[in-house]
């Protein structure tokens, strides 16, 4: 099988080189070509394992329509019409699928999705087709296409493609594509017959640390039984050396990566805990419904996104921007209602707020379950939050986490500003420090209480928007974060936002540094034990507030 595939590719690559050279080989191609129409029909009917062979034969025809057909196959847009078993290309259209004749491109009318069945593909077929198509789209004006082409070439490592690849390399402007092309070039060189070229391939990889190049180099060092895959000792030596230097460079970068992961976990904890730092830390309410405020925020995001999906799908990228204030409002309103309706009767009895808010949390959970159903709800990520920044060093910084880190810092700053620089913040601090005095000074303590609780809940709602990007949106969402949030607030020191910040970050980083070494569960247990022991040393947390108010 591999041999057969190889020969097909060879033939095809050969043809492509001639195409690009504008050689007059068309008559030969026609001569070799089978009837494309019948091949397409065969592609539709062939069982999965046989399809690859048909694809190779289609490519061998050299017909320009092949690219469209294969692209449709890879994109899963190729269908068989049930009425007459004809293989067609289907494009989404209003009312179902617009069918196109794969060879002529002629429109065959719109049908419902039940009238056609998709031509099955699987990972290995698509991967092989993409590899074969590499050459066809290498010069495409669309960078995305070129990137795919380069990836295809990386996989096929077709020797005959080297000249074409070098042409492309010379012209390429896009950094990502350039990077992929360089990788493909090295990969092709590594497969070369000549040891010298292979050695140059190894050297070309020496500055990189990405996983693909490490895969390529490690492959040279594999043994099949007693035979080295790489016969030349020099090349092996160079590969080993390059790998070793990659590893040593990586070691440092891995620590950076762990730190990044730790900070990202810390910022998630910070977001979840910040609202609690206000309701619990500042107001002394043991708010067991805090997790549900987070959940409400996440569900608000869901509702907003549903609205966008049905009303203005093209503006979907903005859905989170709308969701943020909406989630803040929803959670804050629920928070104010909770405070006015229940918690205000319980001031001075902090432990009893625990019981009442626990009851509220049960009710909120069940309410959401009744309205939205018990299953997860789909919250999408806008385009700009997907994917990752692949640094040259081979470490991955995912965008969604990056934005969440930035976002949590912004929220922290905003809350600090509100507390320190606004009249409301001043009143709030006054009320928490000395309620009687504040009232005597004419501060409407009841309203300040409600506003404070609303603020804390609203921040929890905002956290829900962020968490909806990385976690399930289900009625249980809040429960998952409540214990951690309390740990963060207590560890950092109740009543202090900086404490919450320091607590969240140190817990996140320590957890992530422990995880590769101890495993996820043991790491977390160790962190919990550390918190328990730490509280013995500093019974009021990392940043203890001093003064009279604390004692009561």
Partner 1 sequence: MGKLTKWKGALAAAALGVAAMAGTGAAQAQDTIKVGVLHSLSGTMAISETTLKDVMLMLIEDQNKKGGVLGKKLEPVVVDPASDWPLFAEKARELISKEGVAVTFGCWTSVSRKSVLPVFEELNGMLFYPVQYEGEESSRNVFYTGAAPNQQAIPAVDYLLGAEGGEAKRIVLLGTDYVYPRTTNKILRSYLNAKGIADADIMENYTPFGHSDWQTIVAQVKEFASQGKKTAVVSTINGDANVPFYKELANQGIKAEDIPVVAFSVGEEELAGLDTGPLVGHLAAWNYFMSVDTPENAEFIKTWHAFIKDEKRVTNDPMEAHYIGFKMWVQAVEQAGTTDVDAVRQAMYGQKVKNLTGGTAVMNTNHHLSKPVLIGEILEDGQFEIVSATDDVVVGDAWSDFIPESAKLTADWTYPWVCGNCEKPRFAAQ
Partner 2 sequence: MSLLQRLTAPQPQAPGKGRLASVILLTILAAIAILVPLLNLTQAPGSALHVPTYLVSLLGKYLCFAMLALSIDLIWGFCGILSLGHGAFFALGGYAMGMYLMRQIGDRGVYGNAELPDFMVFLNWKELPWYWYGFDLFPFAMVMALFVPGLLAFVFGWLAFRSRVSGVYLSIITQAMTYALMLAFFRNDMGFGGNNGLTDFKDLLGFDLQADTTRAALLAATCIALGGCYLLCRAIVASKLGRLIAAIRDDEPRVRFLGYRVENFKLFVFVLSAMIAGLAGALYVPQVGIINPGEFAPANSIEAVIWVAIGGRGTLYGAIAGGVLVNYAKTVLTGLIPEIWLFALGAMFIAVTLFFPKGLVGSLPGAIDWLKAKAGARSAATPTRPLAKEAGE
Can you give the binding site for partner 1, defined by CB under 8 A? 1, 48-49, 76, 117-118, 120-124, 126-127, 130, 211-212, 214-219, 221-222, 257-258, 261, 264-265, 268, 365-366, 369, 373-381, 386-388, 390, 396, 398-401, 470-476, 479-480, 512, 515-516, 519-521, 524
Distances (CA, A) of 75 to 88, 413, 525: 13, 45, 45
> Applying CB under 8 A, does 182 fall inside the site for partner 2?
no
Nearest to 471 by CA among 317, 307, 315, 301: 301
**Contact call for residues 287 and 279 (beta carbons, < 8 A):** yes
> Applying CB under 8 A, does 83 fall inside the site for partner 2?
no
Q: What is the DSSP code (8-state) at residue 24? A: S
> Applying CB under 8 A, does 342 fall inside the site for partner 2?
yes
Measure the CA–CA gap between 27 and 19, rounded to whole angstroms: 12
> Applying CB under 8 A, does 295 fall inside the site for partner 2?
no
Q: Which residues contact 465 (CB under 8 A, 6 or more apart)?
A: 297, 298, 300, 301, 320, 323, 324, 327
Q: Which of 47, 533, 547, 548 binds partner 2 (CB under 8 A)?
A: 533
Q: What is the DSSP code (8-state) at residue 37? A: H
Least CB distance to partner 2 at residue 480 (A): 12
Q: Which of 228, 316, 358, 399 binds partner 2 (CB under 8 A)?
A: 358
- Residue 329 or 354 with smaller CB distance to partner 2: 354
The alpha-helical segments, DSSP class H, found in 318-398 are 319-341, 350-372
**Contact call for residues 491 and 535 (beta carbons, < 8 A):** yes
Total binding residues for partner 2 by CB under 8 A?
44
Nearest to 465 by CA among 171, 245, 268: 268
> Which partner in partner 1, partner 2, none is near 539 (CB below 5 to 8 A by kind)?
partner 2
Q: Which of 1, 351, 423, 440 binds partner 2 (CB under 8 A)?
A: 351
Measure the CA–CA gap between 221 and 235, rounded to whole angstroms: 10
Choices 108-116, 223-231, 295-303, 339-347; region in contact with partner 2 by CB under 8 A: 339-347
Least CB distance to partner 2 at residue 524 (A): 6
**Contact call for residues 422 and 430 (beta carbons, < 8 A):** no
> Which partner in partner 1, partner 2, none is near 483 (CB below 5 to 8 A by kind)?
partner 2
> Applying CB under 8 A, does 286 fall inside the site for partner 2?
yes
**Contact call for residues 61 and 36 (beta carbons, < 8 A):** yes
Q: Which of 21, 441, 525, 549 binds partner 2 (CB under 8 A)?
A: 525
> Which partner in partner 2, partner 1, none is near 257 (CB below 5 to 8 A by kind)?
partner 1
> Applying CB under 8 A, does 261 fall inside the site for partner 2?
no
- Residue 217 or 419 with smaller CB distance to partner 1: 217
Tokens standing for residue 161: 């493609």
> Which partner in partner 2, partner 1, none is near 540 (CB below 5 to 8 A by kind)?
partner 2
Measure the CA–CA gap between 13 and 19, rounded to whole angstroms: 10
Least CB distance to partner 2 at residue 537 (A): 7
> Applying CB under 8 A, does 63 fall inside the site for partner 2?
no
Give kind and range of the element (H or E) at residue 507. helix 497-518
Extract the runs of DSSP E, i.e. beta strands, from 227-334.
227-228
Least CB distance to partner 2 at residue 415 (A): 21
> Applying CB under 8 A, does 514 fall inside the site for partner 2?
no
> Which partner in partner 1, partner 2, none is near 295 (CB below 5 to 8 A by kind)?
none
Measure the CA–CA gap between 178 and 118, rounded to whole angstroms: 35
Give kind and range of the element (H or E) at residue 237. helix 233-276
Helix (H, G, I), strand (E, B) or coil at 81: strand
- Residue 221 or 371 with smaller CB distance to partner 2: 371
Choices 235-243, 317-325, 485-493, 509-517; region in contact with partner 2 by CB under 8 A: 485-493
Measure the CA–CA gap between 447 and 454, rounded to whole angstroms: 10
> Applying CB under 8 A, does 349 fall inside the site for partner 2?
yes
**Contact call for residues 157 and 37 (beta carbons, < 8 A):** no
Q: Which residues contact 317 (CB under 8 A, 6 or more apart)?
A: 382, 383, 384
> Which partner in partner 1, partner 2, none is near 48 (CB below 5 to 8 A by kind)?
partner 1
Q: Which of 352, 396, 402, 443 binds partner 2 (CB under 8 A)?
A: 352
Beta pairing, strands 78-81 & 223-224: unpaired
- Residue 16 or 282 with smaller CB distance to partner 2: 282
Q: Which residue in the block uniquely carries the two structure tokens 């590594």?
A: 190
Measure the CA–CA gap between 488 and 107, rounded to whole angstroms: 62
> Which partner in partner 2, partner 1, none is near 399 (CB below 5 to 8 A by kind)?
partner 1
Q: Kindly list the residues in this chain that would bind partner 2 in the complex (CB under 8 A).
A: 280, 286, 288, 342, 345-346, 349-352, 354-356, 358-363, 365-367, 370, 479, 483, 486-487, 490, 494, 521-522, 524-525, 528-529, 531-533, 535-537, 539-541
């Amino acid at each position: 099988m591999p041999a057969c595939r190889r020969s097909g590719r060879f033939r095809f690559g050969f043809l492509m080189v001639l195409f690009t050279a504008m050689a007059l080989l068309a008559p030969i191609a026609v001569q070799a070509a089978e009837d494309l129409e019948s091949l397409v029909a065969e592609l539709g009917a062939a069982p999965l394992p046989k399809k690859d062979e048909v694809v190779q034969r289609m490519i061998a025809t050299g017909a320009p329509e092949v690219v469209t057909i294969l692209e449709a196959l890879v994109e899963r847009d190729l269908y068989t019409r049930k009425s007459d078993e004809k293989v067609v290309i289907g494009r989404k259209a209003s009312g179902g699928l617009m069918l196109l004749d794969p060879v002529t491109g002629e429109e065959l009318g719109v049908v419902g999705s039940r009238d056609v069945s998709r031509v099955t593909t699987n990972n290995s077929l698509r991967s092989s087709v993409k590899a074969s198509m590499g050459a066809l789209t290498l010069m495409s004006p669309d960078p995305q296409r070129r990137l795919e082409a380069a990836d295809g070439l990386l996989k096929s490592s077709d020797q005959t493609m080297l000249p074409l690849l070098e042409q492309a390399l010379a012209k390429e402007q896009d950094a990502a594509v350039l990077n992929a092309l360089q990788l493909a070039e090295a990969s092709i060189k590594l497969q070369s017959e000549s040891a010298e070229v292979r050695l140059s391939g190894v050297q070309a990889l020496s500055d990189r640390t990405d996983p693909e190049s490490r895969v390529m180099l490690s492959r040279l060092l594999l043994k099949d039984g007693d035979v080295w895959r790489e016969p030349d000792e020099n090349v092996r030596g160079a590969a080993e050396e390059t790998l070793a230097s990659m590893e040593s460079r990586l070691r440092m970068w891995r620590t950076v990566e762990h730190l990044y992961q730790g900070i990202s976990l810390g910022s998630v904890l910070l977001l979840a805990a910040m609202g609690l730092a206000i309701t619990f830390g500042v107001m002394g309410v043991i708010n067991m419904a805090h997790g549900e405020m987070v959940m409400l925020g996440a569900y608000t995001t869901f509702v907003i996104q549903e609205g966008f999906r049905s009303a203005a799908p093209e503006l979907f990228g903005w859905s989170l921007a709308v969701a943020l204030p909406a989630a803040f409002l929803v959670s804050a309103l629920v928070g104010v209602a909770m405070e006015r309706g229940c918690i205000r009767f319980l001031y001075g009895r902090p432990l009893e707020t625990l019981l009442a808010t626990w009851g509220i949390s049960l009710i909120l959970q069940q309410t959401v379950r009744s309205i939205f159903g018990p299953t997860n709800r789909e919250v999408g990520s806008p385009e700009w939050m997907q994917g990752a920044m692949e640094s040259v060093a081979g470490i991955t910084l995912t965008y969604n986490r990056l934005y969440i880190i930035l976002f949590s810092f912004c929220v922290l700053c905003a809350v600090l500003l509100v507390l320190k620089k606004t009249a409301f913040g001043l009143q709030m601090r006054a009320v928490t420090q000395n309620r009687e005095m504040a009232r005597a000074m004419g501060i409407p303590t009841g309203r300040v209480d409600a506003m404070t609780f609303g603020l804390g809940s609203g921040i929890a709602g905002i956290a829900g928007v962020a968490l909806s990007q990385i976690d399930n949106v289900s009625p249980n969402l809040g429960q998952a974060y409540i214990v951690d949030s309390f740990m963060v607030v207590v560890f950092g020191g109740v009543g202090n936002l900086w404490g919450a910040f320091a607590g969240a970050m140190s817990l996140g980083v320590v957890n992530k540094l422990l995880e590769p070494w101890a495993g996820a569960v043991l790491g977390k247990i160790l962190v919990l034990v550390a918190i328990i022991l730490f509280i013995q040393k500093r019974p009021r947390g990392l940043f203890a507030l001093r003064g009279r108010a604390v004692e009561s």
